[in-house]
Amino acid sequence: AMGSSLSHLGEQPGQGAAMKVVNQLLCGVHIAAAAEGLAFAERAGINPATALEVLSGSAAQSWMLAARGPRMIDYDNMVTSAVDIFVKDLALVLDSGRAAKMALPLAASAHQLFLTASGMGHGHEDDSQVIETYRALMRKREDR
């Protein structure tokens, strides 16, 4: 009644929660990677809307790029999931990694980007606004 699919993940308690953590790891890293790519395109002087169109038809396309990319380019104040949700979720991912004695360097990098965006005042904005961390870095470079 609550979902369209049901997957058996194993016999051990907590495997469903672990799968949710894996999902959030990938979502957070995908959003951060999309932000980095679009910010890099902007830095290279490429119109971000054109970059998104090209990327959306390439091997780099992803559900997160399609869902968050347009709001990275033209933020309409719509919030589907806030920056602070990923600060929390990626912290849970990292805690789970530590408990399993597994390094998660991409999740750690993404967490730092979301944490930075939150510290910049974007915590309650859409998670797509993690791109503002890159834009702030670009402004600092341009100020020199």
Among all residues, which ones are annotated catalytic?
A: 20
* Contact indicator for 35, 72 with CB cutoff of 8 Å: yes
Residue 80's nearest CA partner among 62, 68, 70 is 68
Which residue blocks in 3-130 are alpha helix, DSSP H? Answer: 15-43, 48-56, 63-73, 83-99, 105-117
The tokens describing 140, both together, are: 């600092």
CB 115 within 8 A of CB 109: no
Q: Are 89 and 24 in contact (CB under 8 A)?
A: yes
Residue 81 one-letter amino acid: S
Using left for φ > 0, alpha for ψ between -120 and 50, and beta otherwise, residue 14 falls in left
